[in-house]
Amino acid sequence: MQHNVLILDFGSQYTQLIARRVRELNIFCEIFPFDKIPEDLSSYKAVILGGSPFSVRSKETLHPDLSQIRGKMPLLAVCYGAQYLAHFYGGEVAASNTREYGRANLSFIKENEVFLEGVSPSSQVWMSHSDSIKQLPTNGVKIASTKDVENAAYKIEGEITYALQFHPEVYHSTDGKKY
């Protein structure tokens, strides 16, 4: 049985790397622009929202139509994607005091969280953002933090939706393939 993943591209330098990491797991994936989502999603088993050079707080915010995705199929939101879900679904995103770029280590992992199973409690992750999620979206539950980033990962209760502020696809995220 083919396991297809749809990756929505918001212009991030990391989009192709996300696809490469997914393919290294022997999972077929396709990249589509965020505003050209295929009408028929029946061949996809999951969707990944990637990163973006844009801020969700700007006038240039890139708005995907998630009406056929959210709550209907597994969704992984990475960086911009995580901020998008927070900002437009009841949470709050604000400018970081400093640009958060480079290595960080998880300092908190929610106990018994299946999504983070096998991830080391101090796992190294790669941050690359200038906005931070200050308040989680409606039904959001924090599942991981670093010393400087309170909401490094969260899930949305009642959905198979997970969001990561960091980049699991980057080599420096030591447990990246486990997410």
Active site residues: 79, 167, 169
DSSP per-residue codes, 52-89: -SS-TTSTT------TTTTTTS-EEEETHHHHHHHHHT
Separation between Cα atoms, residue 153 and residue 144, nearest integer Å: 5
Backbone angles phi, psi at 96, to 5 degrees: -75, 150
d(CA 176, CA 170): 7
Q: How far apart are CA 110 and CA 126, in angstroms?
A: 19
- Strand intervals (E) in 50-177: 75-78, 92-109, 124-135, 140-146, 153-156, 161-164
* One-letter amino acid of 169: E
Give the number of C-alpha atoms closer than 13 A to the C-alpha of residue 114, restricted to the C-beta side: 3
The residue assigned the tokens 């679904």 is 89
